[in-house]
Amino acid sequence: MSAADANAGGRPSRPAPLPVLKPGGPRSRRAHAARPAPLPSPGVVESAGHSALNIAEVVGGMGLLAGRIFARVFTLRFDGEEFFRNLHRMGVRSAPIVIVTALVTGAITVVQAAPVVERLGAYGLLGWGASFASLREIAPLLTALMINGRVGANNTAELGTMVVTEQLDALRVLAIDPIKFLIAPRFLAMVLTLFLSTLFADALALLGAAYAGYALLGVEPASFYIGLTGGLLGFNDVAVGLFKSVVFGIVMGLASCQFGLAVKGGAPGVGKAVNSTVVATAAGIFVLDFFVAFTFH
C-alpha cells in the first residue's frame, strides 16, 4: 500500500512518509544511545591477577579462621556436645567408606608391585614393599581424599546452608559465638576423624595387601607378615603416615569451614562452595604431602 498506489486513481496523495525510526520510536533511540558498551573480556594478565587475588583471599581467610579456632581449642572453650555429635556423624558414618577404600588400597599396591616382584623374583620382599608404600603414602593420601569427599563436602554444604538461611546471623544475635559453638567442634572432629580413620585404614590396607598377595602371587600371609616385621619397617613409617593425616585433617577442616562460611548466592552458591572446598583441599593435600615427605625422609 505505497503512496504510488494511492495516486493511481487520481485521488489526493498522502504526505510523504516520515523517515524510518528504530523500532519502538524516538525514546528507544535515546535508550540505545545511553546503553553502556559491553566490558572488554579480561586479558591474560588480568585473569591471572584475579586468580591470584582469589587464592590470597582464601588462604588469608583460612589463616585468620585458624587463629580464631586455635584460640578456642587450646583454651578448651568449645561446645563438647556438638563435638561428640560431629565426631559420631563424621567418624562413625564414614567407617564403611574407609574400610572399602583401605582394603582396595592394599590390593592396588600389591597389583602394582606384582610385575616388579615377579621380574626380580623377590617374593619375600612383597610384605615390606607393599606395606611401606601403603603406610607412608597411599593409605593416608587415599583416606584423606575419600574422607574429604564425604566429610569436607558435607560440612561445607551444611555451613553454607546455615549461612544462606541466616542461621549464623541468628546465633550472633543470640550472643552465641558461632566459632566456639559450631566451627571449632567441627574442625576438631574432622582432625580426629582423619587421624583415627588413617590408623584404621593402615591396618586394613595391610590386610588387603596380604590377601591380594596370596591371591595374585601365591605369597603366603605368613611370609607377608615376616616381611612386615622383619626389621626393614619401623614405627617411624607409621608415625610419618599419622602425622600426615593430622596435617591433612587441619587443611581439610580449615578449607571446608572457610568455604562454607563464605558462601553467597543461594543453592548454586552452596554447590559452588562445595566444589571449591573439594578442589582446594585435594590440592592442599598433595602439596603438603610433598612437604611433609620432604621434611621427614
Partner 1 sequence: MQAREQILKAHEDPEGSGPESVDHELRTVLPERHGVELVGAVALDLLNTGRELYSVFVRTLYYCVNGRTEQGAILAQMYAIGNRSIFFITVSMGFIGMILVRQGGLQLERILPEYSLVGATFLELLVRDFSASIGSLLLATRVGAGIAAEIGSMVVTEQIDALRMCAADPIDYLVKPRFLASIIMTTCLAIWSTGVAYLAGMVTAYVSFDIAPRTFANISLVDSGDLVVGLSKCVAYGAAIPIVASHSGLMTYGGSEGVGWATTRAVINASLAVIILNVTLSTIGFLIFK
**194, 249 contact by CB (below 8 A):** yes
Indicate the residue among 11 and 297 with the shorter CB distance to partner 1.
297
Least CB distance to partner 1 at residue 149 (A) = 4
- Count the Cβ atoms, other than its own, within 10 Å of residue 38: 6
Q: How far is the CB of 91 from partner 1 (least distance, A)?
A: 15
CA pair distance 253, 282, nearest whole angstrom: 12
Q: Which grid cell is 133?
A: 608404600
Let me know: does 228 contact 128? Beta carbons within 8 Å.
Answer: yes
Q: DSSP code of 246? A: H
C-beta of 164 vs 203, nearer to partner 1:
164
The minimum distance between CB 116 and partner 1, in angstroms, equals 7
In this complex, which beta carbon is closest to partner 1, that of residue 52 or of residue 64?
Answer: 52
Nearer to partner 1, 60 or 265 (CB): 265
Do 283 and 252 meet the contact criterion of CB atoms below 8 Å apart? no
Shortest distance, position 87 Cβ to partner 1, whole Å: 18
CB closer to partner 1, 3 vs 53: 53
**Minimum CB–partner distance for residue 274 and partner 1 (Å):** 4
- Supply the minimum distance, in Å, between the C-beta of residue 252 and partner 1: 12
CB of 191 to partner 1, least distance (A): 19
Smallest CA-to-CA distance from 127 within 197, 198, 231 is with 231
Pairwise CA distance, residues 270 & 165, whole Å: 11
Nearest Cα residue to 94 out of 152, 44, 171, 19: 152
> CA 14 to CA 181: how far, in whole Å?
82
Nearest 10 degrees: CA dihedral of 152, 157, 159, 162?
-170
Query: Which one, 192 or 240, has the nearer CB to partner 1?
Result: 240
Under the rule (CB under 8 A), what is the footprint of partner 1? Answer: 97, 100-101, 104-105, 107-108, 111-112, 114-116, 118, 125, 129, 132-133, 136-137, 142, 145-146, 148-150, 153-154, 156-158, 160-161, 164-165, 216, 232, 266-272, 274-275, 278-279, 282-283, 286-287, 289-290, 293-294, 297
The residue type at 294: F
Closest CA to 189 of 270, 101, 80, 286: 80
Closer residue to partner 1 in complex, CB, 55/64: 55
Place of cell 597389583: 111
Q: Which of 142, 145, 162, 140 is nearest to 257 (CA)?
A: 162
Closer by beta carbon to partner 1, 99 or else 171: 99
* CB 134, min distance to partner 1, A: 12
